[in-house]
């Protein structure tokens, strides 16, 4: 197997309890040609000290402690500037890579051509203490997904519904370079990443559980459905981008359904200004 360099960018913000395990999971891959870049986004707990301990034990780690908090998207871009790999993994400091994650990703990419830019897999959801909760895709007795998972041209599917587990994603660096990195105006990155990358690149699915997604009380992901959440406005911005990217009627219909869902959610969360924005965007599609 050809072994191109893979850059794992581990982003930390107040994950003192979990960051060492995340970094170790990156270092202990069965695939050898890896660089680990840790970015601490000005944590206010003892994350910095925990990361420093790991750097002392593993001096090959590239560590970027940021002087002020700039948010996930901008912090990732700082790490991306230091990345020399042909492939990238965005690893949150509370998640865990299975040892074979990178090896399986490289194997998947080498089985297809360069029109494929993103690889993703199944994941295990675990509690803060690491106890099993569930799998992202239900599995059978052989560990395979019991239902078909979309791959190939998934642009229309990512508009329609959430089906990719974010921590499982591994992508070609050229994909994110063409996008200019993550959009720093957004509160979260994954929906925008999927939309913009899937417009130009195909996705390949690895039917294995390769990542542990930790469910942490009060995490950013859990706050996205709260009133006045910045996540809600970020979703609207991505939907506006989609409206300028659609090429056929089925994609337009998928966006209509997405907008109707977001309108319902905005009303339920009393975000009436945002509701009006969505209504205007929905009207413009006609």
How would residue 218 be classed by pLDDT, with cut points 50, 70 and 90? Answer: low
Residue 223 has pLDDT above 90, yes or no: no
The average pLDDT across 253-257 equals 97
Residue 221 has pLDDT above 70, yes or no: no
CB 93 within 8 A of CB 17: no
The average pLDDT across 262-271 equals 93
Which alpha helices (H) appear in the chain, and where do they start and end?
19-27, 47-57, 72-82, 101-110, 155-160, 173-179, 190-200, 220-223, 230-243, 249-268, 272-284
How would residue 2 be classed by pLDDT, with cut points 50, 70 and 90? Answer: confident
Tally of CA atoms within 13 A in the half-sphere of 205 that contains its CB: 20
pLDDT, position 228 = 57
CB 36 within 8 A of CB 10: yes
227: Cβ contacts below 8 Å, ≥ 6 apart: 269, 270, 271
pLDDT, position 220 = 57
Residue 72 has pLDDT above 70, yes or no: yes
Domain ranges of the chain: 6-216, 230-284
- Which CATH number among 2.40.50.140, 3.90.550.10, 3.40.47.10, 3.40.50.300 corresponds to the domain 6-216? 3.90.550.10
- 86-118, pLDDT tens digit by residue? 999 999 999 999 999 999 999 999 999 999 999
């Amino acid at each position: 197997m050809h072994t191109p360099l893979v850059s794992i960018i581990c982003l930390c913000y107040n994950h003192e309890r979990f960051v060492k395990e995340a970094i170790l999971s990156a270092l202990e891959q069965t695939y050898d040609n890896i660089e680990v870049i840790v970015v601490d986004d000005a944590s206010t707990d003892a994350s910095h000290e925990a990361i420093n301990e790991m750097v002392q034990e593993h001096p090959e780690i590239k560590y970027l402690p940021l002087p002020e908090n700039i948010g996930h998207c901008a912090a990732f871009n700082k790490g991306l500037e230091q990345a020399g790999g042909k492939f990238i993994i965005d690893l949150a400091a509370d998640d865990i890579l299975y040892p074979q994650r990178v090896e399986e990703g490289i194997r998947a990419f080498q089985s297809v051509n360069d029109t494929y830019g993103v690889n993703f897999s199944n994941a295990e959801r675990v509690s803060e203490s690491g106890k099993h909760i569930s799998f992202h895709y239900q599995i059978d007795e052989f560990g395979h997904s019991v239902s078909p998972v979309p791959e190939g041209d998934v642009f229309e599917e990512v508009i329609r519904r959430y089906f990719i587990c974010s921590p499982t994603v591994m992508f070609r660096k050229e994909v994110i370079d063409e996008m200019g990195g993550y959009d720093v105006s957004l509160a979260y990155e994954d929906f925008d990443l999927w939309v913009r990358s899937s417009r130009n690149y195909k996705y390949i699915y690895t039917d294995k559980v390769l990542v542990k997604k930790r469910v942490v009380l009060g995490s950013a992901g859990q706050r996205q459905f709260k009133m006045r959440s910045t996540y809600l406005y970020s979703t609207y911005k991505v939907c506006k981008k989609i409206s300028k990217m659609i090429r056929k009627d089925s994609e337009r219909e998928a966006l209509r359904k997405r907008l109707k869902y977001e309108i319902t959610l905005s009303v339920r969360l009393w975000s009436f200004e945002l509701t009006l924005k969505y209504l205007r965007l929905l009207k413009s599609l006609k």
